[in-house]
Structures are given as structure tokens and as C-alpha cells.
């Protein structure tokens, strides 16, 4: 659906950005139940420390700034994060104890609170149902705002996000602010994040400010909400990878037939994280040997004679390896890769007990008999990535 967060009744947002520095505000119709998943980086930014302490009391509003991560800033950083909550509460006429704070940007610099406060006031003046200004306000090296709303029939999930660099599992450099008019259960968000944001990789770096935050404005009964939330987060993850720093192609990686789901996840992440796979994709080079090598060093159970590798380009599935190297037209496949912005790599390890399990909700978020399956998303590694990060400050 068009409109993002504005499709959830009672939710308004606004944002203002000038130069590198922006502020986004999201307001909910009341104090709402919320849950969040945070970075596993042990260097945790001040705003996340503040939000972690407050989220159990419920969320009425969120204030997020870009341009400065407010990380490694000590006592002053914590005081500034709390001050942002108070200023946002004043601007939105809510209680500061129910305002969550999020930041993204350069690490190791103190916030310019005069600039932040003026941005909060400007963002408050733009509050409404259209969330584009809020989505743009939290962008850093992103090229495009990330706005999504899906109607699952009876309930909706909507959100805005940012994320383009330092994208690596557990979690990536990302902010994802989500709202739903359905009730959710404990563990739903973690389940969805593990199968989406924790399965995307751009550059193997993990930041200090990552958060996926879900707020429920209502109590609509939602069958299979966990599956719906997983699908929503996977779609948002693909948007982030597509907009990654220097990315020219999105790579979806499917591993199946592994001995276990844990093995499938290890293999998929090894492929997604491989700089050699990324550079080969950028060069439109179907070098399946790099994929096989990544699986081999991932530590999973492997019988190479049972493994198969396919590249799917423009809907055409080409078998490159079937226990041994297959003959294929490498030049023609490379030319096809030049014409598309997304490819898929499929690896079947040939060890899973597919069909021996009962039907369940699998890693892909769909109901099917699957054993040892996993999806991951990666981007290619281009010259522009180096240029962007060489000069980032």
C-alpha cells in the first residue's frame, strides 16, 4: 500500500533534514505496547541505552536523528539522548517517559543540541499521515527513502527504515520503525528479525546503533502474525540491500537440503558475506567456485558429491555444479547478468530430510515441508563502495 505509516490509524509522522543532519518524529494515538531488537555490538550508543531502559513502559512517540550516532560520548551522550526525548515530548504534547530515541551517523562526536532541537521543532511542524519526510530525515548514505505498508487482510504492518552501509547480520547498520494495528506476541519480532535483517549483508561491518522497533496501536486478532511480520521484514531487508552503498545488484541466496536449519543458515551467511562472491557478481562473473568455497569453509556438514549450485538470472535457472563442474556458457550467462539488477544463487547440499518432517513455517516465512532451508540477501561489491567510505566523516 502507498503511504507507509500513515495507513495505521492514529499514527502521524514528520521529518526535517538540512545537509547531513535530520530529525524524524513518529507519534502514536496513545501509549502502546512495543518491542525492539538491538545491535549485538558491545559498543552500544547512548540512544539505545536510553530506549532499552524505557521501552517496557510503552511507546507514545519516537524521535530519531541522522548525522550523528551519539556513540562513545559518555555521560553527556546519555544526557543529550534524554534531552532529545524531553524536547520531542514537549513538541508533540506527550510524556517524555514514553518517548524512545534513536540515532544514526558518525561515531564519536557530541550532538549539536541547538541544531537537534531546531530540527525537532521543524519536524513537529510537518506531522501528518505522509511519512516520506520522516523516512528521508533518517537517511545517511542511503540513496532512497524506505517506506513500506502491507495489508495482510484484517491487519496491516507499516514502517520506515534506513540502512545502506555497515550492513551485516546481528544486526546491520539500520533503523526500522514499524507499526501495526494487530496484537503481537513475545518473540514475534525476534523471530522475524532472525529471518530477515539478520540474514542480509553488504560489507561485513556491524554498527553500534541498530534497532528494529515494533509498536502495536491495537489488539486486532491476527492469525499467523509472526509469518506476516517475517514477510514484511524480509521485504524491507531487500529494500535496504538494493540501496546499499555502491550496490548495483541484489543477490538472493537460497540454501536447501542442509543437514539442519542451523547448517543452512551458516552456509547462506558465508555466501552472503563472501567478498569474493560479491566482487564476482559485480563483475558479472558466474564464478560458482567462490560459492562452493564459502560453503566449504562455513563449517557445515558437506558431501561435495551431493551438492548442487544454480544461478538464476532473468528467471532462467542454470546448473553450474552437480557434484562436479558442469559445462555451461559462462560468457552468455555473464552477458545476461549485465542486464539485471537482481540474481539468485541456489545451493542444495543434498543432505536434508525434506518430506520427513511435518508441515511447518520455515525460514522463508512460508508454510511448507522443509528441512535445512534458509534465505539470505547480499549486494555486490563495487568501486563506489570504496569511494563512499574512504571519504565518510
Q: What's the Cα-to-Cα distance from 268 to each of 41, 240, 325, rounded to whole Å?
A: 21, 18, 21
Q: Does residue 203 sit in the same domain as residue 299?
A: no
Q: Which residues contact 325 (CB under 8 A, 6 or more apart)?
A: none
Q: Give the pLDDT score at 371.
A: 57
Q: Does residue 193 sit in the same domain as residue 306?
A: no
3-state secondary structure the chain: CCCHHHHCCCCEEEEEEECCEEEEEEEEEEEEEEEEEECCCCCCCHHHHHHHHHHHHCEEEEEEEEEECCCCCHHHHHHHHHHHHHHHHHHHCCCHHHEEEEEEEECCCCCCHHHHHHHHHHHHCCCECCCHHHHHHCCCCCCCCEEEEEECCCCEEEEEEECCCCCCCCCCCCEEEEEEEECCCCCHHHHHHHCCHHHEECCCCCCCCCEEEEEEEEEECCCCHHHHHHHHHHHHHHHHHHCCCCCCCEEEEEEECCCCHHHHHHHHHHHHHCHHHHHHHHCCCCCHHHHHHHHHHCCCCCCHHHCEEEEEECCEEEEEEECCECCCCHHHHHHHHHCCCEEEEEEECCCCCCCCCCCEECCCCCEECCCCCEEEEEECCCHHHHHHHHCCC
Q: Does residue 31 sit in the same domain as residue 108?
A: yes
Distance CA 222, CA 256 (A): 29
Q: What are the cell numbers at 371?
A: 528441512
Q: Which of 23-37, 165-179, 234-248, 273-287 has the highest mean pLDDT?
A: 23-37
- Alpha carbon 227 to chain centroid, angstroms: 16
Asked if residue 376 has pLDDT above 80, the reply is: yes
CA triplet 153, 63, 131: central angle to 5 degrees? 45
Q: What are the cell numbers at 374?
A: 534458509
- In a domain, residue 56? The reply is yes
- Domain edge (last residue) among 180, 204, 233: 233
Read off the CATH number of the domain in which 26 is found. 3.60.70.12
- In a domain, residue 48? The reply is yes
- In a domain, residue 8? The reply is yes
- In a domain, residue 238? The reply is no
Question: Tens digit of pLDDT for each residue in 127-152?
Answer: 999 999 999 999 987 888 999 999 99
Instruction: Say how many domains are in the chain.
Output: 2
Distance CA 290, CA 277 (A): 6
Q: Does residue 210 sit in the same domain as residue 266?
A: no
Q: Does residue 255 sit in the same domain as residue 217?
A: no
Distance CA 247, CA 242 (A): 7
Q: Does residue 269 sit in the same domain as residue 180?
A: no
Q: What's the Cα-to-Cα distance from 235 to each of 43, 159, 186, 240, rounded to whole Å?
A: 28, 11, 22, 9
In which band, very low, low, confident or very high, does the pLDDT at 170 lie, cut at 50, 70 and 90?
low
Q: Give the pLDDT score at 203.
A: 61
In which band, very low, low, confident or very high, does the pLDDT at 168 lie, cut at 50, 70 and 90?
low
Distance CA 9, CA 320 (A): 50
Q: Does residue 169 sit in the same domain as residue 254?
A: no
Length reported for the chain = 393
Question: Tens digit of pLDDT for each residue in 265-302?
Answer: 999 999 998 989 999 999 999 999 999 999 999 999 99
- Domain edge (last residue) among 167, 199, 233: 233
Asked if residue 368 has pLDDT above 60, the reply is: no
Q: Give the pLDDT score at 91.
A: 98
> First CA to last CA across the chain, in angstroms?
36
- Average pLDDT (69-98) is 97
Distance CA 62, CA 127 (A): 13
Phi, psi of 173 (to 5 degrees): -80, 95
Options 173, 180, 230, 248, the catalytic residue: 173
- Domain edge (last residue) among 187, 203, 233: 233
Q: Does residue 179 sit in the same domain as residue 59?
A: yes
Q: Does residue 87 sit in the same domain as residue 217?
A: yes
- In a domain, residue 13? The reply is yes
195 within 8 A of 234, measured Cβ to Cβ: yes
In which band, very low, low, confident or very high, does the pLDDT at 359 lie, cut at 50, 70 and 90?
very low
Active site residue 173: yes
Q: What is the percent of the chain where pLDDT is above 90?
A: 72
Distance CA 57, CA 50 (A): 12
- In a domain, residue 175? The reply is yes
Read off the CATH number of the domain in which 309 is found. 3.10.20.340
Q: Which domain holds residue 296?
A: 250-390
In which band, very low, low, confident or very high, does the pLDDT at 223 lie, cut at 50, 70 and 90?
confident
Mean pLDDT (the chain) is 89
- In a domain, residue 241? The reply is no
Q: Does residue 368 sit in the same domain as residue 331?
A: yes
- In a domain, residue 245? The reply is no
Q: Does residue 270 sit in the same domain as residue 371?
A: yes
Q: Does residue 117 sit in the same domain as residue 181?
A: yes
Amino acid at each position: 500500500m502507498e503511504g507507509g505509516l500513515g495507513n495505521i490509524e492514529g499514527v502521524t509522522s514528520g521529518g526535517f533534514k538540512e545537509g547531513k543532519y535530520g530529525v524524524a518524529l513518529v507519534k502514536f494515538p496513545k501509549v502502546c505496547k512495543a518491542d525492539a531488537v538491538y545491535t549485538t555490538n558491545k559498543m552500544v550508543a547512548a540512544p539505545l541505552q536510553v530506549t532499552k531502559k524505557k521501552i517496557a513502559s510503552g511507546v507514545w512517540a519516537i524521535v530519531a536523528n541522522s548525522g550523528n550516532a551519539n556513540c562513545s560520548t559518555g555521560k553527556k551522550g546519555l544526557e543529550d539522548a534524554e534531552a532529545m526525548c524531553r524536547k520531542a515530548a514537549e513538541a508533540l504534547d506527550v510524556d517524555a517517559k514514553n518517548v524512545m530515541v534513536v540515532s544514526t551517523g558518525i561515531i564519536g562526536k557530541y550532538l549539536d543540541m541547538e541544531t537537534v532541537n531546531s530540527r525537532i521543532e521543524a519536524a513537529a511542524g510537518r506531522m501528518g499521515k505522509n511519512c516520506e519526510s520522516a523516512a528521508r530525515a533518517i537517511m545517511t548514505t542511503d540513496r532512497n527513502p524506505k517506506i513500506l505498508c502491507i495489508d495482510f487482510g484484517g491487519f496491516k504492518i507499516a514502517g520506515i527504515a534506513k540502512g545502506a552501509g555497515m550492513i551485516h547480520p546481528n544486526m546491520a547498520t539500520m533503523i526500522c520503525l514499524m507499526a501495526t494495528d494487530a496484537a503481537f506476541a513475545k518473540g514475534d519480532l525476534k523471530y522475524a528479525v532472525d529471518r530477515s535483517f539478520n540474514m542480509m549483508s553488504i560489507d561485513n561491518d556491524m554498527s553500534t546503533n541498530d534497532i528494529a522497533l515494533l509498536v502495536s496501536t491495537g489488539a486486532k486478532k491476527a492469525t499467523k502474525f509472526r509469518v506476516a511480520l517475517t514477510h514484511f521484514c524480509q521485504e524491507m531487508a531487500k529494500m535496504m540491500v538494493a540501496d546499499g552503498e555502491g550496490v548495483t545488484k541484489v543477490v538472493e541466496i537460497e540454501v536447501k537440503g542442509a543437514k539442519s536449519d542451523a547448517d543452512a543458515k551458516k552456509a547462506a551467511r558465508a555466501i552472503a558475506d563472501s567478498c569474493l562472491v560479491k566482487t564476482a557478481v559485480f563483475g558479472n562473473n558466474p564464478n560458482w567456485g567462490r560459492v562452493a568455497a564459502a560453503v566449504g569453509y562455513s563449517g557445515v556438514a558437506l558431501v561435495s558429491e551431493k551438492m548442487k549450485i544454480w544461478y538464476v538470472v532473468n528467471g532462467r535457472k542454470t546448473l553450474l555444479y552437480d557434484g562436479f563442474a558442469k559445462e555451461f556458457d559462462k560468457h552468455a550467462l555473464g552477458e545476461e547478468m549485465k542486464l539485471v539488477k537482481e540474481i539468485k544463487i541456489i545451493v542444495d547440499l543434498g543432505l536434508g530430510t525434506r518430506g520427513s518432517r511435518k508441515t511447518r513455517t520455515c525460514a522463508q516465512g512460508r508454510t511448507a515441508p522443509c528441512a535445512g532451508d534458509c534465505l539470505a540477501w547480499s549486494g555486490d561489491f563495487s568501486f563506489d563502495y570504496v569511494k563512499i567510505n574512504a571519504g565518510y566523516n
